């Protein structure tokens, strides 16, 4: 060590005693200064590129989300249209028309203008439209029936229309073929105003303060653009006409070589206008294709653009800091360490600003998502609660943040057990998707949800919490249950008719021989009593068989004009004494001059009697109560509502109450055919029966009761 220090001392003495030493030191200083300047320049360019790239990546996320929202809408629309296929062969068309009008009404704000059904002879047999659009002329429908070789939704070529006010409508047929036994029997179609749909989906999607989004199809036709004159036109031609003196080669190359070929990516190009900005402007662009089966080989693309000036502020600050660092270095290397620390501090501030900007963009995406996006910590306490969650569950962020996720789990589910089971799977696999369960809203309504949950960990592997995306599947599942129950009741009706006829004959034989044997024994003998027991049970079995036949024969019966008000008053007179004995008050609120319905008056009275009888059974535990019958006219229908203040129907059995032989009564008190017979009779009348109920089991402490709603078409006396 001493020898090394001695060598350094000799070298120092040698250099500092020479005349050229100051010159060498000066050169060395400028070399170091130049290297430092060059490194700072590279660092500035790297930061500039990184900020631009990060901003473009955020734009790409917005483009992907917009594409996903469009795909989600078409997926939901396809599910709704495919559900209509169940009613396509409905000969009378009543249920089919209601379903088609429902699809049109639910989606009119998303751009659907009409819906129709074409049979295999190209005849338009059903058609509904929204107000304000002219009716579709059948001879102008251009649908090639031979083109359909698979049961899937297809988007037809676009039709671009402009009305007298200059408003643009970009219309496309969305078609779903109806195939039976390998043959095409017809086509369900809707027409969709794409310009309205994209305005709804991405009209407010923007990056930065002045960014915007636009959509083109495979022919470069603008399906949506903030420049209204561009919509429905070839975007290349529209740009050239608006600014003929501007060179659009950079953006044109991006569109031709990437966007129109279905590629995803980001880019940068020069332009000469952007909203209120004029002059030469550098823009950042991110684009992604719309990938849906309905487009077949067509390529649509969504782009999000913003001027680079949106991020130039952070870049300019970085340049100013670098210039200051260079000036400080020029004053001397002695102060270099101090100014280097200041430089590093300012770089840290720049990074914080960039992170803050990224957080604002991510927060905007989370807040405006249609799905419920929730973040809980490892103790299941909510830390993030977006607008989608607020809309789905009814709780505001102030009501949920810091509180347990358990309040969303119904009381009949073991919250601790379910959360533990889900969290164990998430910790094991890193995520869980498509977990179907029930949740409860602030209003007490139970909904069925689809839950996807992802584990969030720190760089050290510590569990920070869970990211949760929730979708409301209640309406979808209810529709599936309705279709399932319709098919099940039809199958059971056919089976019941066959079984009833087969059982009825041997029962008649047993009853006949029993009558013969009874006459041979004394009334006080044990044999006589046994035969009477056989006779009583056979008669009970015959009653069940008669109910089965009544359930199966929903297409039989006397067709007549029936006065529903008179029928209800007749039944109320019959049951009045029974209700009085049971301390039950019956209130009638029937509209004067209530129109007639078409059907057998005896069968309608049976429906009212069965529903009143069910209400009486529901109020036996309370010892008293009230039954209210409302009857009124609504559009083309007569509505009869029978309400009681009983214990209600629990959620766990609601989907079973119309099933034949399903009953909650004790053995011998009921056959379980009452409500199924009501269902069959009302269906024969061309109507429907539904109910709403609040049960004591699901809502302890709340006011309970059940209301059955009978809807029957009225008779047009004209």
Q: pLDDT for 575-584, tens place per residue?
A: 887 787 778 8
* 707, 691 contact by CB (below 8 A): yes
What are 60-107's pLDDT values in tens digits?
888 888 888 888 887 887 788 777 776 656 666 778 788 888 888 888
b/e code 122-134 from CB counts within 10 Å (16+ = b)? eeeebebbbeeee
Nearest to 84 by CA among 110, 109, 108, 103: 103
Contacts of 118 (CB under 8 A, 6+ apart): 124, 125, 141, 143, 186, 187, 189
10, two tokens: 């000799």
What's the N-to-C CA distance of the chain in angstroms?
A: 120
21, HSE (Cβ side, Cα atoms, 13 Å)? 9
Q: Are strands 154-155 and 168-180 parallel, antiparallel or unpaired?
A: antiparallel
The helix/strand/coil state of 175 is strand
Residue 7, H or E segment: helix 2-16
Q: What is the pLDDT of residue 148?
A: 47
DSSP annotation of 144: -
- In sequence order, which residues have a C-beta less than 8 Å from that of residue 687 and are 6 or more positions away? 597, 637, 710, 711, 712, 713
pLDDT of 557 reads 46
d(CA 415, CA 421): 10
Predicted pLDDT of residue 667 = 44
CA-derived radius of gyration, the chain:
38
How much is the pLDDT for 38? 67
Q: What whole-number distance in Å separates Cα of residue 449 and Cα of residue 474? A: 7
Task: Sort 149 into a burial class: Cβ within 10 Å, 0-12 / 13-18 / 19+.
Answer: exposed
**What is the structure's pLDDT at 244?**
82
Query: Residue 657, SS3?
Result: coil
CA distance 452 to 68: 16
Low-confidence ranges of the chain (pLDDT < 70): 1-26, 29-30, 33, 36-47, 86-92, 137-154, 156-176, 178-182, 184, 272-279, 310-345, 347-348, 351, 355, 362-368, 478-502, 540, 543-559, 621-623, 660-674, 717-718
The predicted structure's pLDDT at residue 556: 45
User: The tokens 């649509």 sit on which residue?
Assistant: 300
Q: Which of 590, 649, 588, 580 is nearest to 614 (CA)?
A: 649
Of the candidates 189, 87, 76, 67, the residue with the CA atom closest to the CA atom of residue 138: 189
Query: Does residue 210 sit in helix, strand or coil?
Result: coil
C-beta of residue 618 within 8 angstroms of C-beta of residue 646: yes
Domains of the chain: 369-472 (3.30.450.20), 554-713 (3.30.565.10)
**pLDDT the model gives residue 544:** 65
- Cβ contacts of 535 within 8 Å, gap of 6 or more: 511, 514, 515, 518
Query: What is the value of pTM for the model shown?
Result: 0.40
693: how many CB neighbours lie within 10 A of its CB? 21
Q: Where are the alpha helices (DSSP H) in 305-412?
A: 309-331, 336-367, 387-393, 397-400
Q: How far is CA 164 from CA 131, 161, 193, in A?
A: 17, 10, 17
Res 142: pLDDT: 56
């Amino acid at each position: 060590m001493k020898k090394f220090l001695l060598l350094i001392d000799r070298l120092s003495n040698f250099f500092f005693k020479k005349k050229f030493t100051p010159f060498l030191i000066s050169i060395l200083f400028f070399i170091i200064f130049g290297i430092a300047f060059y490194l700072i320049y590279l660092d500035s360019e790297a930061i500039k590129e990184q900020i631009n790239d990060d901003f473009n990546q955020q734009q790409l996320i917005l483009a992907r989300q917009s594409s996903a929202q469009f795909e989600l809408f078409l997926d939901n629309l396809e599910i709704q249209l495919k559900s209509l296929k169940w009613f396509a062969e409905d000969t009378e068309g009543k249920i089919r028309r209601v379903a088609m009008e429902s699809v049109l009404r639910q989606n009119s704000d998303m751009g659907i203008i009409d819906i129709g059904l074409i049979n295999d002879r190209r005849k338009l047999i059903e058609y509904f439209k929204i107000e304000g659009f002219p009716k579709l002329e059948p001879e102008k429908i251009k649908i090639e029936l031979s083109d359909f070789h698979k049961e899937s939704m297809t988007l037809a070529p676009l039709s671009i229309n402009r009305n007298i006010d200059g408003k643009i409508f970009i219309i496309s047929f969305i078609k779903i073929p109806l195939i039976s036994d390998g043959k095409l029997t017809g086509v369900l179609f809707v027409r969709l105003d794409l310009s309205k749909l994209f305005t709804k989906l991405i009209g407010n999607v923007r990056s930065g303060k002045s960014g915007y989004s636009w959509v083109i199809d495979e022919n470069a036709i603008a399906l949506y653009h903030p420049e209204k004159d561009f919509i429905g036109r070839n975007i290349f031609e529209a740009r050239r006409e608006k600014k003929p003196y501007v060179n659009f080669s950079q953006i044109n190359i991006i569109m031709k070589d990437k966007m129109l070929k279905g590629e995803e990516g980001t880019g940068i190009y020069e332009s000469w206008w952007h909203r209120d900005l004029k002059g030469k402007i550098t823009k950042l662009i991110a684009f992604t294709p719309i990938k849906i089966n309905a487009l077949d080989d067509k390529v649509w693309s969504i782009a999000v653009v913003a001027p680079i000036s949106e991020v130039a502020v952070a870049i300019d600050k970085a340049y100013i800091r670098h210039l200051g660092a260079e000036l400080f270095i020029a004053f001397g290397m002695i102060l270099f360490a101090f100014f280097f620390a200041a430089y590093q501090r300012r770089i840290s501030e720049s990074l914080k600003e960039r992170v803050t900007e990224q957080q604002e963009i991510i927060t905007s995406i989370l807040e405006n998502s249609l799905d419920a996006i929730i973040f809980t910590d490892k103790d299941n306490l909510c830390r993030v609660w977006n607008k989608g969650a607020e809309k789905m569950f009814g709780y505001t962020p102030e009501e949920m943040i810091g509180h347990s996720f358990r309040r969303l789990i119904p009381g009949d589910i073991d919250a601790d057990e379910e959360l533990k089971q889900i969290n164990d799977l998430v910790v094991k696999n890193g995520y869980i998707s498509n977990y179907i369960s029930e949740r409860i809203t602030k209003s007490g309504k139970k909904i069925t949800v689809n839950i996807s949950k992802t584990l969030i960990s720190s760089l050290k592997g510590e569990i920070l919490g869970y990211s949760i995306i929730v979708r409301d599947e209640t309406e979808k599942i209810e529709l599936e249950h309705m279709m399932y129950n319709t098919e099940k009741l039809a199958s059971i009706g056919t089976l019941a008719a066959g079984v009833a006829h087969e059982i009825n004959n041997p029962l008649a034989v047993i009853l006949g021989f029993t009558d013969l044997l009874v006459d041979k024994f004394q009334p006080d003998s044990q044999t006589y009593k046994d035969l009477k027991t056989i006779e009583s049970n056979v008669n009970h079995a015959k009653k069940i068989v008669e109910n089965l036949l009544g359930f199966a024969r929903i297409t039989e019966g006397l067709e007549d004009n029936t006065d529903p008000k008179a029928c209800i008053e007749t039944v109320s007179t019959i049951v009045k004494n029974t209700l009085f004995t049971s301390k039950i008050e019956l209130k009638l609120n029937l509209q004067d001059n209530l129109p007639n319905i078409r059907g057998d008056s005896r069968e309608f009275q049976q429906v009212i009697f069965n529903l009143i009888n069910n209400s009486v059974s529901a109020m036996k535990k309370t010892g008293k109560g009230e039954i209210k019958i409302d009857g009124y006219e609504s559009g083309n229908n007569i509505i009869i509502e029978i309400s009681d203040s009983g214990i209600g129907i629990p959620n766990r059995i609601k989907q079973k109450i119309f099933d034949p032989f399903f009953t909650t009564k004790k053995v011998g008190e009921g056959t379980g055919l009452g409500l199924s017979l009501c269902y069959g009779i009302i269906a024969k009348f061309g109507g429907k029966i539904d109910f709403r109920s609040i049960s004591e089991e699901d809502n302890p402490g709340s006011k309970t009761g059940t209301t059955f709603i009978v809807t029957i078409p009225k008779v047009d006396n004209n």
